[in-house]
Amino acid sequence: MGKVAVGAAVVCAAVTCAAAALLVRRRLKSSRRWARAMAILKEFEDKCDTPIGKLRQVADAMTVEMHAGLASEGGSKLKMLISYVDNLPTGDEKGLFYALDLGGTNFRVLRVQLGGKEKRVIKQEFDEVSIPPHLMTGTSEGLFDFIAEALAKFVATEGEGFHPAPGRLRELGFTFSFPVWQTSIASGTLMKWTKGFSIEDAVDQDVVAELTKSVEKIGLDMRVTALVNDTIGTLAGGRYHNPDAIAAVILGTGTNAAYVERAHAIPKWHGLLPKSGEMVINMEWGNFRSSHLPLTEYDQALDAESLNPGDQIFEKMISGMYLGEIVRRVLLKMAEEAAFFFFFFLEFLKFSSCFFFFFFVNFLN
């Protein structure tokens, strides 16, 4: 009988709780606070609206900036960086390769054994490492030493099925997802940090050289053979599986895009035209800004309080690092101007006291 009574009490309690929730919801909807809270959401929705006409205006503005960025350095909000990647994978590649992807609060390390057209990816393994927050605003040496040590630990787990070429250093592709001024396929100077990083002594330094110093310090037999942005890495991965892939977009902690451009359509390119006739361009479109973008008061406040006010406006509007903060600011306004959550809490308390009384009476009986 005891179990039956408890069970009945639990069922009754659940029904009472559901009824309380419905009553709270009904009272909320009939209140002025609810109306104000909904007005705040509706105002935010209207300001974020992007009908086809506005999207075309944004696209046209971005096209203008793209042409300006290809014409000259510093001529556009879009850096349109030359990647020095003029050939993308074909699927014929063979051998053991390592990759390091640094572009947010975590970095990933990967090794893959490629077997050419027939065998493709024979085997691959990867690991993900969280970056301690203090290293994101510390020193260049601190960050790259941490990365090198993680690389060494990963290499130490190299097992059966992975075969480095005899007498050769392990080759590492370094995906570095921040604006870099590249001077070759395996060197590049950091222009500025984004996505919450702010390591001053790394700016204007060759990031490959910084990583190489840390790798050599611990005696790791590995060399960086390619420096690419994550969008270019994504494009290369797409081309490996689909020869028609010509562009890649990143929507993660940050956002960016890369695409294959005709080499002769890049006025700022002063070297010999590559044999392929093509060049992959890293747009760095996170820094795009236009009067046609639907900037809200929340976007503007977030930008003003960020580590890089005035920069990366497009990124701050759509990428993962910032969207949660935008939501928080909307909810905060609802709490401040409509006392929305406090009112909900008070209303629920009125019913919860009855609920607990009912529950314990039934439980004791």
Q: pLDDT tens digits for 14-25?
A: 555 555 555 555
Grade residue 9 by pLDDT with cuts at 50, 70 and 90. Answer: very low
Average pLDDT over residues 140-149: 96
pLDDT at 311: 92
- Residue 134 — left, alpha, or beta (φ > 0 → left; ψ -120 to 50 → alpha)? alpha
Which tokens is 285 given?
């479109």
Sequence-ordered list of residues with C-beta below 8 angstroms from that of 77, at least 6 positions apart, any chain = 65, 69, 287, 288, 289
pLDDT at 343: 58
Of 27, 33, 36, 108, the active-site residue reads 108
Which tokens is 21 given?
């929730």
pLDDT at 247: 97
Would the pLDDT of 342 be above 70?
no
Average pLDDT over residues 183-191: 91
* 83 included as an active-site residue: no
pLDDT at 235: 95
Would the pLDDT of 361 be above 50?
no
**3-state secondary structure at position 261:** strand
pLDDT in tens, 261-274: 999 999 999 888 89
Sequence-ordered list of residues with C-beta below 8 angstroms from that of 39, at least 6 positions apart, any chain = none
For residue 269, the Cα-to-chain-centroid distance in whole angstroms is 29
pLDDT in tens, 55-74: 999 999 999 999 999 999 88
pLDDT at 344: 57
> CATH 3.30.420.40: which residues of the chain?
60-287
* 92 included as an active-site residue: no
Grade residue 122 by pLDDT with cuts at 50, 70 and 90. Answer: confident
**3-state secondary structure at position 301:** helix
Given a contact cutoff of 8 angstroms between Cβ atoms, the answer to whether 224 and 186 are in contact is: yes
Q: Which of 36, 19, 34, 18 is nearest to 343 (CA)?
A: 34
Assign a CATH topology to domain 60-287: Nucleotidyltransferase; domain 5 (3.30.420)
pLDDT at 13: 47
Of 101, 230, 299, 303, the active-site residue reads 230
94 versus 345: which is more confidently predicted?
A: 94
- d(CA 218, CA 213) in angstroms, rounded, equals 9
- The three-point CA angle 258-259-264 to 5° equals 125
Grade residue 159 by pLDDT with cuts at 50, 70 and 90. Answer: confident
- Residue 248 — left, alpha, or beta (φ > 0 → left; ψ -120 to 50 → alpha)? beta
For residue 60, the Cα-to-chain-centroid distance in whole angstroms is 25
* 177 included as an active-site residue: yes
What secondary structure letter does DSSP report for 254?
S
Of 76, 83, 140, 177, the active-site residue reads 177
**What Cα–Cα distance (Å) separates residue 249 from each residue in 39, 175, 257, 285, 334?**
34, 15, 4, 10, 34
144 versus 252: which is more confidently predicted?
A: 144
- Residue keyed to tokens 């994978």: 89
Would the pLDDT of 340 be above 90?
no
pLDDT at 276: 92
pTM: 0.73
